[in-house]
Amino acid sequence: MSTILHVQMTEGSVQQLDVDSRLEKHGGRSFIARYLLDHVDPRCDALGPNNVLIFAPGLLAGLPLSSTGRLSIGAKSPLTGGIKEANVGGTPGDKLGRLGIKGIVVSGKAREGIYTLYLSKNGAELVESGEMAKLGTYETTARLLDKYGDHCGVLVIGPAGEMELRGAGISATEDLENVPGRMAARGGLGAVMGSKGLKAVIVDDSGTSAPPVSDMELFKQAARRFAKELIESPKTGKQGSMHRFGTVAIMGPVNDIGALPTRNFSRGQFEGVPNINAEKLRETILERGGKIGQRCMPGCVIQCSNIYVDEQGQPIVSTLQYETLALMGSNLEIDNLDEIAVLNRMCNDFGVDSIEMGAALGVAMEAGLAEFGDGEGARKLLEEIGRGSVLGRMLGNGAETTGRTLGIERTPVARGQAMPGYDPRALKGNGVTYATSAMGADHTAGNAIGSRKTKDPLEPEGTGDLSRGLQQMAAMLDMTGLCLFARPPIVADPDLMIQLLNGRFGWGWTVEDLVEAEDELLRMEREFNTAAGFTPAHDRLPEIFYREPLPPTEAVFDVTDEEMASTIKDL
Amino acid sequence: MSTILHVQMTEGSVQQLDVDSRLEKHGGRSFIARYLLDHVDPRCDALGPNNVLIFAPGLLAGLPLSSTGRLSIGAKSPLTGGIKEANVGGTPGDKLGRLGIKGIVVSGKAREGIYTLYLSKNGAELVESGEMAKLGTYETTARLLDKYGDHCGVLVIGPAGEMELRGAGISATEDLENVPGRMAARGGLGAVMGSKGLKAVIVDDSGTSAPPVSDMELFKQAARRFAKELIESPKTGKQGSMHRFGTVAIMGPVNDIGALPTRNFSRGQFEGVPNINAEKLRETILERGGKIGQRCMPGCVIQCSNIYVDEQGQPIVSTLQYETLALMGSNLEIDNLDEIAVLNRMCNDFGVDSIEMGAALGVAMEAGLAEFGDGEGARKLLEEIGRGSVLGRMLGNGAETTGRTLGIERTPVARGQAMPGYDPRALKGNGVTYATSAMGADHTAGNAIGSRKTKDPLEPEGTGDLSRGLQQMAAMLDMTGLCLFARPPIVADPDLMIQLLNGRFGWGWTVEDLVEAEDELLRMEREFNTAAGFTPAHDRLPEIFYREPLPPTEAVFDVTDEEMASTIKDL
C-alpha cells in the first residue's frame, strides 16, 4: 500500500494519506514536480513556511533490483529560485520504498527547536532533537544510528543547512559504511530542510518486505536481464572503468577535450591531472588499504564507490568523486588528493555541496582571499562555514553570492547555481543543459560528455537536440530512481524499462508512454519556473562565457539563441 | 545645438554627435530609456562592457528657471537587474544643459586604469587619473575643483563605485558649498561607472550661455509664473515647511501613520522621533551655526537643503535628509543626529547610497552584527566598506546581498533594491510602487505619502490607480529635470509645463502629448525589463510583508495581485 506522509512542521503533526490519482504514476523527480505544481505558489519564499520539501523515492525503489534506489529530494530552490530536484544514492531511498512511502511532504516551519522524523512500519513520529543542533553530519548520523540501530537509513543536514546557507545539501547514509557519504547536494535543499526545523529523517525498514509486484514473471525476467547486462558490460562490469575507478574515470577525457575547470574556469586543462586522476586515485587507495568497488545502495552490481584513506589507512572520506576532484582540485589548482579529500570531508560534515563550494572557493581565490593551489588556504576558508562567520556564510551561500560580494566577473553559475566539472565553452552540449534545464547548471540534468566521440564538443550546432535528448534521459532516470551509471542497458533497449515498470505496476505502458512521461516532467518543471518568473531571457550563461576564450581550445560559448530555444521547444 | 557625447572607454575615444530624431523629444530619464532600449541588450551583464552608463539632463536644463536642473543618470542596474534611472540635484545638470549636451553615453570598459572626463565648450577629453584611485568623494572633488576651477560641476564615484559594489552611487557638487553632497544614489549606478573605469566627470560651462528658446515670450511668462507660484506657496515659499525643514518635514506624518521604518522594518513608529525630526534638526543646525535654506541647484527658489554642523560649528554633512534619517535613524533605532550625520558623511565619502546602507545595516543588526541603537557599532560596520573587507563588500552590495548572506527573512527590498523610508504595509500605495515600478523599491518613482489625507494609507483598494498616477507624475518630473518639491504648480495646472516646453522647443504640445510621453516612458522601461527577464511574478514584495503584521497598525501588505496588475495595465 503506497502512501504519502504529510509532515506539518508548524503544527508538529504527521499524517499518512493514500496517494491520489494525480500522483499515482509519478515517482521521484516527477512526483516532486507534480506535487509542487499542484500545491505550492511558485513565487513563494523558498526559505519561508509556504515552500515544501519533498522526499520521493523513484518508481522502482525497494525492489530486488540493481541500482534503482536513488532518492529524489525537491523543493523550490533558495539557490536558483526555481524548482529543484537533487537525488542521492545510499540506503534511505530503497528503505522508503520498502515502507511503501511514495513521498514525504514537509510543510510549514517549526515554531522553535529542531526535530528528527522517525519512520518505521509502525508509523511516523517527530522527535525534538535540540541536543543535535549545529552538529556535523558524521556525529549526528553516528548518534542516530546508535539510538535507532545500524539497520536504519539516515538523511541529515549539517550546520550549513541549519544556518539556511544556499549551498547546503542533505546527506544520506551509504550501504556498507553507514556514514553520511552521499549527498543530495545541489540547489540548497539542505537550507530548505533547515528552514523547516528538520535535522534528520530516520528510515527504519525492519520488518518490511519489498513492495508488491504486479506481474512477477515479467518483472523477474527483466530484472535478471538488467543485472546480467550490467555485470557483463565492459563499462559497468567488474573490469569496467566504473567499477574500477568510479566517476573520476571521466577526468582524463574531460581534460583531453579542454573542458576541465581549472583556476576558476579560466583554463580547460590542468597540468596537475596525473596527481588527481582515476589511476592515481585507485593506486593511492589500494596502496594505503582503502577501498575500491564499494556499493552505496543495497543490491547494486556496479559498485563504483571508494573509501579514501590517509597514509595510516584511516578513512578520510567516502566516496571521493569526479565533481569534487574537478571543482576542489583542478579548479583550485590543488593537485593533492589528501588535501582534496580533507576539503571534501569538511563539506560533507558541514553539509554543503562540494561542487558549489569548489566554485565559490575558486571565485574567492580569484579575488585574492587565498592563493590558487593552496590547500591549506582553502581549508581555512572552508572552516569559516563551520564558524558561521560572514566570510563563511558568503562562501556557504555559494558561488553566485561569493562572486557578487567580491565583484568577480567570471563567476561560473547558471540560474544562480555553480557549474559542475565541465566548462561549457569546450563542451557546448553541457552549456545548453546548464542554461535551459529548469535545474540550473547541473550535469545530472543532461550531460553531453558521453557523446564526445560522436559529436564534436566544440561544435555549437545540434547541441539543442543533443541536450534535449539528454534531458529526457535524465528525466527517466530521476523518476524511476535509476542510477546514471546503470543507464546503458536501458538506453540500448528502452523496452527493458517498460518491462520493469509494467512488471511492477501492471500499467501496460509502451515506450511512447515513457517518453511522454519524460516530456511531461520537463514540461511541469518549466511551467513551475515560468510561474516563478523565469523567461527565455534566463536561458543564458553569464555573459563572460560568450566573450572570453578558454585555453587551450580558445573556445567561447557560441550557441545561438535559436539553438538554445530549440532545446525546450514544445515544452 | 544639442549633441550626444559618446565616450568609448575600451578605446578611450570621445565623439560628439548630433541628436537623431528618435531621441529628439526625450530628456533625462526618458532619454535613458529610449537609448537603452534601442542600443543595449537587456540581458547584458550590468557590470560588463556591453552595458552603457548615461548622463542626461532634463528637457529644461540650463535655462533661467527654478528647480529644473536635476540630472538623470541611468544604465541597466547591477542591483535590480532591470533598467535604472536615478537623478540628482546640484550643479552638473544645468551646466550640461548650457553646454548643449543632451546625453553622455559611456560604453565599453577601460582596459586598465581610471579616468576623468573633462567637458567644456571646447570639447571633451578623457584624462588618466590613477592618482585618484580609491580616494573618497570629498577629497576627489576638492582636487578636481582645485585643478579645473570652482566654477565647474563635478560628478564623482568613491571607492565603493571603484569596487563595483551594488550600493554605490554617483555624487554631484552642490551649488553653494561645492562639496559632493548630492547623490544619484539608487540602483548601483556608481558600480557601473566604476566598472567602466570612469572616476569623475567635470562639467566646465565657462563661456556658455543658456540654450536657445523657441518662443521667448511664452517661455518667460511661464517661467515667471512658475517662480512666483513657488515663492508664494505656503509649502515651497520662505515660510513653507520645505524651505524651513527640507525633506525631513515628512518624518512626523510618516511616523503618525505608523509607516516609519523602525528596527529593521519590524515596527512603524519610533519613540526616538523627537530627537531626530524636522524641528530638532532645524533647531540643532541653527543653534550651532549651521545652515538651513540652502539651494543645491542654481536659481532654485525653494532652497530646501541644510548644512549639518558639529558642536563646534564645523560641517559634517550637507544635506541631511529624511530618507537617511529614517533608514540610518529609526530603522537602526539611532536617535542621535550627530551619529546619523557621521554615518551619512561616511556614505557620501565612500560613495554609497545611504538608503541601501541603512537597510543593509538594519539587516546586519537583526543578524546580531551590532546592537540596534548603537551608533558606534553602525559606524564600525560602515568603515568596513572603506576597507573593502568581505564584511564591507557584503554591506556595500546592499540589503539583499546582506540578507541573503546572513539568512535574514525580513529583508526590506523589492527587485533587489532596499525600500526607502515608508513601510509598505502602512502606506500601501508605496508598496504598489515598490513592486510594480521598473525602478524597484524607490519612493521617487511614485510616492503616495502626499495623498495620506485624501486616501487611507492602510486601504489596499484603489492603490493601483493611485500608484499609476504617481508613477506618471514621476515620469514627467524625471524627463524634464524638475525637482519633486517644485511639482505643485505643475500638478495644479499641467498647462504650465506645456508652456515651458513649447516655449523652449516650439513643439506645439498639448497636455495629452505630455501624458502620452509619460506613459511612453513607463512603457519603454517595462519593455526593457521584460526583455531582461522580468514578469508579473516579480511585481511582488518579499513574502514576509504579506504575512507579518506591522505594529502599531498591525497591517500586512494585502494589495491583491489584480490591484497590482491594474497599475501597469496598458503599459
**DSSP one-letter string for B99-149:** TTEEEEEEES--SSS-EEEEEETTEEEEEE-GGGTT--HHHHHHHHHHHH-
Which one of B391, B394, B537 has the shortest CB-CB distance to A43?
A: B537
Question: Do A534 and B531 lie within an 8 Å CB cutoff?
Answer: no
Question: Do B405 and A393 lie within an 8 Å CB cutoff?
Answer: yes
Residue contacts between A and B (CB atoms, under 8 Å): 88
Residue of chain A with shortest Cα separation from B531: A537
For testing contact with chain A, the best of B51, B352, B390 (most A CBs within 10 A): B390
How far is residue B459's CA from residue B178's CA, in Å, rounded to a whole number? 44
Which one of B44, B164, B405 has the shortest CB-CB distance to A407?
A: B164
Whole-number Cα distances in Å, B366 to A518, B314, B402, B541? 45, 33, 11, 19
Closest CA to B439 of B165, B82, B89: B82
Closest CA to A334 of A282, A378, A283: A378
Q: Cell for A249? A: 574515470
The 10 Å Cβ neighbour count of residue A372 is 18
Q: Per residue in B489-526, is it b (16+ CB within 10 Å) or e — as a string?
A: bbeeebebbbbbbbbbbeeebeeeebeebbbbbbbbbb
What pLDDT is recorded for position B570?
A: 79
Please work out, in degrees rounded to the nearest 5, the angle formed at the alpha carbon of residue A510 by the alpha carbons of A508 and A515: 130
Across the strands, what pairs with A168?
A: A352
Which residues 6+ apart lie within 8 Å of B235 measured at CB? B241, B242, B488
Read off the pLDDT of each residue in B522-528 and give the average, rounded to a whole number.
98
Which one of B47, B48, B401 has the shortest CB-CB distance to A405?
A: B401
What pLDDT is recorded for position B37?
A: 98
How far is residue B440's CA from residue A352's CA, in Å, rounded to a whole number? 33
Please work out, in degrees rounded to the nearest 5, the angle formed at the alpha carbon of residue B248 by the alpha carbons of B246 and B250: 110
Phi–psi pair at B175, nearest 5 degrees: -65, -50
Closest CA to B371 of B418, B323, B338, B333: B333
How far away is chain B from the Cα of A403, in angstroms, using its nearest Cα?
11
Whole-number Cα distances in Å, B481 to A124, A273, B130, B301? 66, 60, 33, 15
**Full DSSP string of A303-362:** --EEEEE-TTS-EEES---HHHHHHTTGGGT---HHHHHHHHHHHHHHTB-HHHHHHHHH
What pLDDT is recorded for position A1?
A: 59
For testing contact with chain B, the best of A10, A381, A404, A557 (most B CBs within 10 A): A404
For testing contact with chain A, the best of B404, B411, B540, B544 (most A CBs within 10 A): B404
- Give chain B's mean pLDDT: 97
pLDDT per residue over B58-70, tens digit each? 999 999 999 999 9
Which one of B163, B369, B401 has the shortest CB-CB distance to A404?
A: B401
What pLDDT is recorded for position B1?
A: 59
Question: Do B405 and A391 lie within an 8 Å CB cutoff?
Answer: no
Chain B residues touching A361 at Cβ < 8 A: none
How far is residue A515's CA from residue A520's CA, in Å, rounded to a whole number? 8
With a cut of 80, say whether residue B171 has pLDDT above it.
Answer: yes
Residue of chain B with shortest Cα separation from A167: B405
Ranges in chain A, pLDDT < 50 = none
Question: Do A531 and B537 lie within an 8 Å CB cutoff?
Answer: yes
Which one of A47, A390, A534 has the shortest CB-CB distance to B390?
A: A390
Question: Do A390 and B397 lie within an 8 Å CB cutoff?
Answer: no
Residue of chain B with shortest Cα separation from A408: B164
Question: Do B544 and A45 lie within an 8 Å CB cutoff?
Answer: yes
Which one of A369, A393, A538 has the shortest CB-CB distance to B533?
A: A538
Which one of B44, B535, B544 has the shortest CB-CB distance to A533?
A: B535
For testing contact with chain B, the best of A543, A547, A564 (most B CBs within 10 A): A543
How far is residue A546's CA from residue B339's CA, in Å, rounded to a whole number? 47
How far away is chain A from the Cα of B348, in angstroms, using its nearest Cα?
20
**Full DSSP string of A226-258:** HHHHHHHSTTTSTTSHHHHHGGGGGHHHHHHTT
- Pairing relation of β-strands A101-107 and A53-57? antiparallel
Classify residue A493 by burial, with Cβ atoms within 10 Å: 0-12, 13-18, 19+: middle
Closest CA to B477 of B87, B190, B50: B87
Q: Cell for A262? A: 581549472
Q: Cell for B308? A: 549639518
Return the SS3 of A114.
Answer: coil
Read off the pLDDT of each residue in B44-52 and give the average, rounded to a whole number.
98
Chain B residues touching A535 at Cβ < 8 A: 530, 533-535
Which one of A48, A405, A535 has the shortest CB-CB distance to B535?
A: A535
Local confidence band at B403 (pLDDT 50, 70, 90 cut-offs)? very high
What pLDDT is recorded for position A176?
A: 85
Question: Do B48 and A409 lie within an 8 Å CB cutoff?
Answer: yes
Which residues 6+ apart lie within 8 Å of A214 measured at CB? A502, A503, A504, A505, A506
Chain A residues touching B391 at Cβ < 8 A: 390-391
Chain A residues touching B369 at Cβ < 8 A: 390
Chain B residues touching A543 at Cβ < 8 A: 43-45, 48, 50
Please work out, in degrees rounded to the nearest 5, the angle formed at the alpha carbon of residue B31 by the alpha carbons of B30 and B36: 100
Chain B residues touching A534 at Cβ < 8 A: 533, 535
| Interface of chain B toward chain A, CB-CB under 8 angstroms | 42-45, 47-48, 50, 163-166, 369, 390-391, 393-394, 397, 401, 404-407, 409, 530-535, 537-538, 540, 542-544, 547
Chain A residues touching B196 at Cβ < 8 A: none
Question: Do B390 and A391 lie within an 8 Å CB cutoff?
Answer: yes
Phi–psi pair at B355, nearest 5 degrees: -70, -50
Question: Do A542 and B47 lie within an 8 Å CB cutoff?
Answer: no
How far is residue A231's CA from residue A243's CA, in Å, rounded to a whole number? 10
Whole-number Cα distances in Å, A490 to A30, A417, A474, B449? 19, 30, 12, 65
* Cβ-contact B62, B94 below 8 angstroms: yes
What pLDDT is recorded for position A3?
A: 96
Chain A residues touching B407 at Cβ < 8 A: 47, 163-165, 393
Residue of chain B with shortest Cα separation from A540: B43
Which one of B393, B531, B543 has the shortest CB-CB distance to A406?
A: B393
Read off the pLDDT of each residue in B49-74 and give the average, rounded to a whole number.
97
How far is residue B255's CA from residue B536's CA, in Å, rounded to a whole number? 31
* Cβ-contact B26, B479 below 8 angstroms: yes
Which one of A45, A163, A165 has the shortest CB-CB distance to B543?
A: A45
Which one of A47, A407, A532 has the shortest CB-CB distance to B409?
A: A47
How far away is chain A from the Cα of B190, in angstroms, using its nearest Cα?
13
How far away is chain B from the Cα of A547, in angstroms, using its nearest Cα?
10
Question: Do A394 and B394 lie within an 8 Å CB cutoff?
Answer: yes
Residue of chain B with shortest Cα separation from A534: B533
Which one of A165, A537, A540 has the shortest CB-CB distance to B531?
A: A537
How far away is chain A from the Cα of B532, in angstroms, using its nearest Cα?
6
Chain B residues touching A406 at Cβ < 8 A: 390, 393
How far is residue B543's CA from residue A532's CA, in Å, rounded to a whole number? 13
Question: Do A165 and B407 lie within an 8 Å CB cutoff?
Answer: yes
Question: Do A537 and B406 lie within an 8 Å CB cutoff?
Answer: no
Q: Cell for A534? A: 523565469
Question: Do B44 and A166 lie within an 8 Å CB cutoff?
Answer: no
